[in-house]
Amino acid sequence: MKPVFYGMLVVLATSLMGSSFAVGKLGLSYFSPLLLVGLRFTIAGLLMALWVRKRLPVSTDDWIKVFLVGFFQTAAVMGCIFLSLRTISAGESSILTFVNPLLVVLLGTWFLGMRYRFYQWIGVVIGFLGVVVTLGFHLQLKTGTLLGLGSALSWAIATILVKKWGARFEIWVLTSYQMLFGGLLLLVMGVTLESPKIIINTASVSIVLYLAIMSSIVQFATWYYLLSQGEPGKTSAFLFLAPFFGVLSGWVILGEVVQWFVYLGGFFIIIGIFLVNWTSSSK
């Protein structure tokens, strides 16, 4: 894959990830949290399942693999994120969630036998420092902290599973059915773990459709394609851009003020990504 095209896909995927926080915050005025994300991924999964008709899994074992990816990538990650918001802030939850690239490097080393250079590890640490700086250094140990770490661990596990099993499936099939399975689980969580709320109007429908199509279908398909083309640790390092885009989209969409430390954090993020990729390309 050409570097320019790869970079464009990375920016597309991470900007959609980041913008989903601001758009999702708008959606909380019309939906309860778990119901909102459940609708988001169920609609996205159904739309794609209706469109995808080739290379469907034929064995029970393959369907179980797709379900496991959906459980970790969609249900567990999003469930932990929104449940963590009951006791910690959105910024704190974001910081914990995007620890996952470091966990990917650890899991990739243990389970896939991958080897990373010292400076790649330094790059991951610097990138995480950039996330912390971008979100303002605010982090306290609370109940939601464990849930936030749970979202990071679930995302890292999903990344490893996609790298290990992804070649067995057509990318659109894996994307659609993992979202569908995860979305259905989130809907169950939405009616059992919280008091459901839903307000139907033009704004709420537009928000759900944006989250389902752009921030789910386009985002996941692009992300899985990137994972299939390179090392999971290297690709996941770019996830440090997502909270940075999240802050910027909050400024554009919600009118939130961008503080000086956002730009400082962005600098650390860029340095971290450079180290991870520069050491890999010089190998």
In a domain, 261, yes or no: yes
How confident is the model over 101-110, as pLDDT tens digits?
777 777 877 7
* pLDDT digit string, tens, across residues 133-157: 766 665 555 677 788 888 989 988 9
Q: How many domains does the chain have?
A: 1
Closest listed residue to residue 187, CA positions, set 62, 79, 65, 56: 79
Mean pLDDT of 127-137: 74
pLDDT at 204: 94
- Closest to 103 in 3D by CA, of 84, 127, 81, 119: 127
For 11-58, write each residue's pLDDT tens digit.
Answer: 999 999 888 878 888 888 899 889 999 999 999 999 988 888 777 887
**Residue 49 located in a structural domain:** yes
Is 14 part of a structural domain of the chain? no
Helices (H), the chain: 3-27, 33-51, 60-70, 77-84, 90-97, 100-111, 118-134, 143-165, 171-192, 202-212, 219-229, 232-236, 241-254, 260-281
Whether residue 130 is contained in a domain is answered as yes
Give the per-residue pLDDT at 170. 82
Residue 283 has pLDDT above 60, yes or no: no
pLDDT tens digits for 255-276? Answer: 776 677 777 877 887 787 777 7
Average pLDDT, the chain: 82
Task: Kindly provide the b/e burial profile for residues 101-110, where b requires at least 16 CB atoms within 10 angstroms of the residue's own CB.
Answer: bbbbbbbbee
Of 185 and 240, the structure prediction assigns the larger pLDDT to 185
How far, CA to CA in Å, does 225 sit from each of 9, 45, 175? 9, 17, 10
With respect to residue 13, please indicate whether it lies within any of the assigned structural domains: no
Domain range for 276 is 27-281
How far apart CA 19 and CA 217 sit, in angstroms, is 14
User: What local confidence, expressed as pLDDT, does residue 43 receive?
Assistant: 94
Please answer whether residues 208 and 41 qualify as being in contact, where contact means their C-beta atoms are separated by less than 8 angstroms: no
The answer to whether position 4 is within a domain reads no
168 or 101, greater pLDDT: 168
Angle at 279 between CA 273 and CA 282, to 5 degrees: 135
| Predicted local distance difference test score (pLDDT) of residue 281 | 45
**Cα 41 from chain centre:** 13
Is it the case that residue 86 has pLDDT exceeding 60? yes
Is 11 part of any domain? no
Which region holds residue 113: left if phi is over 0, alpha if psi is between -120 and 50, else beta? left
Residue 157 lies in a domain: yes
Quick check: 83 and 193 in contact, CB under 8 A? Answer: yes
Length of the chain counted residue by residue: 283
Q: Which residue has the higher pLDDT, 126 or 235?
A: 126
